Structure 1
């Protein structure tokens, strides 16, 4: 399979990881065995890392999670830059994602917890106490409109009361 076909395959799987290999083969104009072998190779090479479902947890009757994005300013370590502190931060179970950023802050940490207080405790007791961490700014997620290209609440009526002056 050509690199262009592999890229097409990856884009299709990124949109729908559950698509049948027979359908994929037809879409790519390849035989099914080639598609299966290519997917297996891409998984083995860690190009394909996981197949994830995007869930609208607001529609599930259970306690909702509190999510926050924390901007972190750190002191880079000699010889390893930001990698050492990033490795320490990513090991915390509360951390769902971690990115090196350009701009005012160095790291962007995505955190999930049961309560706002729990997230605040994570920041004050675990994150802020790391030697390399200089400062943090926490932003709590209030509503999710779009995630991984999926629009939430599309087609739902806005039930808020109209207020006009």
Structure 2
């Protein structure tokens, strides 16, 4: 297996389960552990692997955090496009993810706040006041069903009562 394919195989495994050890991956790929360890270390050093994270079912935690998706229409700046405004926006601690999009808006933000009021303040006082921002549209998340390829809800069906006229 060439080096690039090895890295892709390792990344596929770690993306599905970041808890897998180099030894586990070596067994899965029928390779020596030191080869897998060296490849992982190289990808960590060259920033191919930035972090290892757990996918958390916030509904199980009864989290009081409020999450939303914000669509932003903004103007690109000469010479830097959308990069300059994106850099300003991603520095806000409320912004958990930020993407450049095609379609009806330019940027997509995943935002977290303690309350809807906090998110409203963020949009009105921080985001909408930026010079390049023309319009925002905020969508609050009500329930998560699947995240990062993982189904979050249990498959148990709640018995429903029959409705009769």
TM-score range, shorter chain: over 0.9
The Cα shift of 1:159 comes to 6.5
> 1:136 is paired with a residue of what secondary structure?
strand
List per-residue Cα deviations over 1:66-105 (Å, max 9, x = no partner).
1010000001111111000000000000000000000010
- Are 2:95 and 1:82 aligned? no
For these two proteins, the number of residue pairs brought into alignment is 164
Give the structure-2-normalised TM-score: 0.93
The Cα shift of 1:58 comes to 1.3
The two structures, once aligned, show a CA RMSD in angstroms of 1.7
Q: How does 1:18-33 map to 2 (within 5 A)?
A: 18-33=19-34
Hey, which bits of structure 1, 4+ residues long, moved more than 4 A?
A: 159-165
Are the structure 2 counterparts of residues 45 and 161 from structure 1 closer, same or farther at C-alpha, using a change threshold of 3 Å? Answer: farther
CA contact (8 A) 1:58 1:64 kept: no
| Corresponding residue for residue 17 of structure 1 | 18
> 2:28 is paired with a residue of what secondary structure?
helix
Are the structure 2 counterparts of residues 161 and 79 from structure 1 closer, same or farther at C-alpha, using a change threshold of 3 Å? Answer: farther
> 2:7 is paired with a residue of what secondary structure?
helix
The Cα shift of 1:59 comes to 1.3
Are the structure 2 counterparts of residues 60 and 72 from structure 1 closer, same or farther at C-alpha, using a change threshold of 3 Å? Answer: same
The Cα shift of 1:22 comes to 1.4
Are the structure 2 counterparts of residues 75 and 154 from structure 1 closer, same or farther at C-alpha, using a change threshold of 3 Å? Answer: same
Q: 1:41, 1:114 → 2: CA distance?
A: 38
The Cα shift of 1:20 comes to 2.2
Q: 1:9, 1:36 → 2: CA distance?
A: 10
Q: How does 1:31-50 map to 2 (within 5 A)?
A: 31-50=32-51
The Cα shift of 1:158 comes to 3.6
Give the structure-1-normalised TM-score: 0.93
| Corresponding residue for residue 65 of structure 2 | 65
Q: 1:156, 1:54 → 2: CA distance?
A: 21
Q: Give the unaligned 5+ runs of structure 2.
A: none
Q: 1:117, 1:163 → 2: CA distance?
A: 38
